[in-house]
Structure 1
Amino acid sequence: MSGIPYHLLLLCLGFSFAYVLMKVIQLYYKKQAHLKALESFPGPPPHWLYGNIPQITSHREELNIMLNWAEKYPYAYPRWFGGFLCFLIVNHPDYAKAIFGRGDPKARINYESLTPWIGKGLLILNGPKWHQHRRLLTPAFHYDILKPYVAKIADSTKVMLDKWEKLIAQNPTKSLEMFEHISLMTLDSIMKCAFSYKSNCQTERELNYYVKAVSDLTYLAFKRITSGSFRSDLLYLCTSSGRRFKEACMLAHLHTEKVIEERKKSLQNERELEKIQQKRHLDFLDILLCAKDENGVGLSDEDLRAEVDTFMFEGHDTTASGISWLLYSMAQQPEHQERCREEIKDILEDREDIQWDDLSKMTYITMCIKESLRLYPPVPGVSRQMSKPITFFDGRTLPKDSMVAISIHSIHRNPTVWKDPEIFDPTRFSAENSSRRHPHAFIPFAAGSRNCIGQQFAMNEMKIALALILLHFEIFPDPANPPFPVPQLVLKSETGIHLFLKKLK
């Protein structure tokens, strides 16, 4: 067999060189455009190739480094993820207000890495299709739908409390890691409430694989986003992280597909279908399965699974983060813990079960929840891509297609907005103090038209869980196992959240 003719080889090499040269030139001009757009925003000096990545010395230091940068560069600063990808990091409510008020789409380059996992659901969609899905799903969070969820959330919480009681009876000197237990509890709750699916995931551990898969996916997705590399799915899947991501996706989809299929089978029963159609308000999965457009066409299987994957993840993992950090805050603040305990006792009097009307009476508990969400927002940041140029209040501008990341964690700890921001002080959220505060100073559920659709569900679950936990246990920190907050897709602790529990008589 003869080899490739010399002139063809030279031609191929020439084309390859020209292609690489063209890509290098495109990247060069793209970077120059970035630099010009951001020239009025000073920030931490980047390396020409690695950007600011080498300055983040460890995951556990990332949030502190970002707080230092936010203090040094008021309002906003550029952060380079490699040599060619840059986001303007926003750390002040005035800038956040300007961005959230526009309804810009999510930054595609950040969220596209999640598509193999959660598909193109409400979190990722943009444009008319996002509006369609948002309108479709908003009724699933009507207060008439949320009312019966109180008992279901309480039931799931009580299963967790029974487990805790047995564990501390076996070894009262050992602390418990909260996030693992609470993740199973919130997964149990969301499946009962939004998907009418009863599982024994807390006691039989049948869904441990799903919780583990979600944990892997949130870590791997965040690692991929912040590394500034492997933008190509094909290249990423050739790495060990990419293969691990693919395997975790398959496990996550295995669970959500099982939930969908079981519900579809039940709808084939005419009596069950009639029962659902007679409901005044449909739950989340009812809406997805029964939805029809103006032509009588329902959601495609792809759209259906995307929304189920999205809400299965967001409905349990973010709330688990919020509750876990809330319990840590209560353990650190015994006086506030006791005041919350007394409040719930006064509300319930001789009753044991929490009812819908009790939630609005939990004034101090709500203030403590909000203060914990301020210090430990479950979603540390969100990103947007400018659909048109933007001018901020100080006259600085960004062109169309610029990418912006709103650092919720930095805004919540901004010393120009919050007095003594590192101190846990629930009175910040009294009616009087809240009325004087910037409306975008506290944004744990983001803001604007793309805020969290399930925020009322999450707040209700946090109130119910905290109230029941405090009625049964006293909570103490474990000084030997302190948490180290790390920003993944949700705020977690690199070492877990370990607390001691003491059963109350």
Structure 2
Amino acid sequence: MDLSVLALCTLLLGLCLWKMNDLIYRYKTYIALYTSDKVIRFGKFHPLWGHLHLLIPLTKFHELTVKGMRETGRKITCYWLSFLYPILGVCHPDTVKILLKSSEPKNKQAGGGYFTLLPWLGDGLLISDGKKWERNRRLLTPAFHFDVLKPYVPIYNQVFDIFLDKIEKATSGGQSTEIYHRVGLATLDTLLRCAVSYEDNVQEQGSNHPYVNAVRILTNISLKRIMEPWLHPDIVFNMSSHGKKYHKSAKYVHDFDERVIRERKQALEADMSVLTKRRRDFLDILLTARDEHGVGLTDREVRDEVDTFLFEGHDTTASSLSWAIYSLSKNPEDQEKVYEEVKRVLGDRTDVDWSDIKEFSQLTLFLKESMRMFSPVPSVGRITTKEIDLDGLKVPANMEIYVLIYALNHRQDIWGDPERFRPDRFSNDAEKDPYSYVPFSAGPRNCIGQHFALNEQKVALAKLLQRFKVLPDPDHQPEIDLDLVLRSTNGIRIKLQRR
């Protein structure tokens, strides 16, 4: 045999043995994690599916987590997504803070929870990591300064006037109406108007609007791909009917964004003075931001951040606001307290001003409790870049870990009676561990747009309560669906009574 061929074969054999040894070491480590008395385990391990049969639907997984927490008091979960690899979950302030105090990136590799969003959202703040994330976070922070957020309040008022007119018509004669879809249209309308100054009768067109339809398809297929490991390889996914539909929708969203960005960029290049003649929006700030070297964002980076903001800013807010309206209908005494506050703050005015928002203390407590009971984002993911210690459990680098926000919000040992709706539990936040309640995540990678989202919801709820009393539909019970955001499989229905 030729000496060079022999050397190559020896090298390949060595690489195979090295890789095999690495895999064996990893699986021994993973099995040690799974069998530790520190973790909550989920039933019998299937040699092919792992615990996938216990994770679909995701609601079942979160129910098992809550049950495991109450039975064992443990702070970490461990389950296997098929036989390929285990995933950890943290569900107690002690373990949550260890993970969120660092800026560990979210997993965008194949198999990680965020890889399915990458072709759509790109490498924006939600998914990016390292130096790129740090630089872009600094550049985007001014877009959420109070001086920028303040002029958005009149837009919130305009959008939710349209929303209220529509649901008033839908509930005439004592009928109930499904609100989640309508709220989602309103929050998307808000984002398009505030972020890129785009108005196109979104609420009138509803699901017929191609952007609304595209975002719905992208979110549904993204979750489906996470839960079906055979769709993880790009070559398989891209050839499937789901992959083709996904990429067609992503192309529409990208073309839409690129057109808006291109037109704005041309306008700014022609005359920068336009920025002094109107309010600056999110897109203006993206296009004019410069780092310490005088370098701005590339066209692709601008598109990625616009895509990310439009998705995160409308879908999660729609979930939070819809469940808050549902909570008003189910808790009439708390609704009355919030209404009295709104009446006192607004008086005879129908529009909410910037200065009013800070006066809504009772409304703020109500909204916090609603986000605890119905976590808009049930979980957020991280991947370790070095070994960390979680409650005595040594977790290696490159391990995917989720902060199980929904489970955290339903811990008996943290919240006492977690299934009872009680806004006053937030009246003294100073007594709580700040990592016991993280609806917008926490630490360096917390949600950059949380004030935008909270302000929008407060305006929407204040205007709703000023005009209507919210009543439950006695014939309808929402069925919780823990998707990428918290939804209901059969919608959320309410009735309205004009005040």
The 3 A distance-change label for structure 1 pair 24 and 244 is: farther
Structure 1 ranges of 4+ moved more than 6 A: 18-26
TM-score of the superposed pair, with normalisation by structure 2:
0.90
Q: Say whether 1:342 aligns with 2:343.
A: no
Helix, strand or coil at the partner of 2:231: coil
What are the ranges of 5 or more consecutive residues in structure 2 without an aligned counterpart? 1-13
Q: How far is the alpha carbon of 1:134 from its aligned partner?
A: 0.4
User: How far is 1:19 from its partner?
Assistant: 12
Matched-pair contact (CA < 8 Å) for 2:33–2:393: no
| Counterpart AA for 1:34 | Y
Alignment of 1:100-499 (within 5 A): 100-108=100-108, 109-169=112-172, 172-205=173-206, 208-270=209-271, 273-276=272-275, 282-294=280-292, 296-392=294-390, 394-431=391-428, 434-499=429-494
What are the superposed Cα offsets for residues 57-107 of structure 1, whole Å, 9 maximum, x if unpaired? Answer: 545534323322333451012011100121111111110011111221112
1-structure distance, mates of 2:226, 2:245: 16
Structure 2 residue identity aligned to 1:81: L
**Is 1:35 aligned to residue 38 of structure 2?**
no
Write out per-residue CA displacement over residues 28-50 of structure 1, whole angstroms, 9 at most, x where no aligned residue.
55433321344424412421221
**What one-letter code is carried by the residue in structure 2 that aligns with 1:470?**
L
Call closer, same or farther: CA 1:24–1:487 in 2, change over 3 Å: farther
State, as a whole percentage, how many aligned pairs show the same letter. Answer: 39
> How far apart are the structure 1 equivalents of 2:47 and 2:16?
19
Partner secondary structure for residue 416 of structure 1: helix
Inter-partner Cα distance in structure 2 for 1:250 and 1:363: 43
Q: Distance in 2 between matches of 1:85 and 1:229?
A: 14
CA distance in 2, matches of 1:150, 1:239: 44
Give the TM-score normalised by structure 1.
0.89
How far 1:319 sits from its partner (Å)?
Answer: 0.5
Q: CA deviation at 1:22?
A: 10
Given that 1:101 and 1:448 are in contact with CA atoms closer than 8 Å, whether structure 2 keeps it comes out as yes
Q: Is the 8 A contact 1:56 1:65 kept in 2?
A: no
* Paired residues of 1:326 and 1:369 also in contact (CA < 8 A): yes
Change in CA separation of 1:396 and 1:21 when aligned onto 2, cut-off 3 Å = closer
SS at match of 1:377: coil
Shifted more, 443-452 versus 217-226: the winner is: 217-226
Kept in 2, the 8 Å contact 1:103–1:449? The answer is yes
1:205 Cα deviation after fit: 4.0
Report the Cα offset of residue 264 of structure 1: 2.7
Q: 1:59 to 1:127 in 2, by over 3 A?
A: closer
- Kindly state the Cα deviation for residue 427 of structure 1 after the two structures are TM-superposed: 0.3
Question: What's the Cα RMSD here?
Answer: 2.5
C-alpha contact 2:97 2:435 (8 A) present in aligned 1: yes
Letter in 2 for 1:116: P
Alignment partner of 2:169: what SS?
helix
Compared CA separation, residues 254 and 177, structure 1 to 2 (3 A)? farther
Return the alpha-carbon distance in structure 2 between the equivalents of residues 238 and 480 of structure 1: 43
1:405-442 residue CA offsets vs partner (Å, 9 max, x unmatched): 110000000101001101100001102xx222121111
Between 1:442-451 and 1:211-220, the stretch displaced more is: 211-220
After superposition, the Cα gap between the structure-2 partners of 1:173 and 1:113, relative to the gap in structure 1 and judged at 3 Å, is same
333-342 vs 106-115, which moves further: 106-115
SS of match in other structure, 1:374: helix
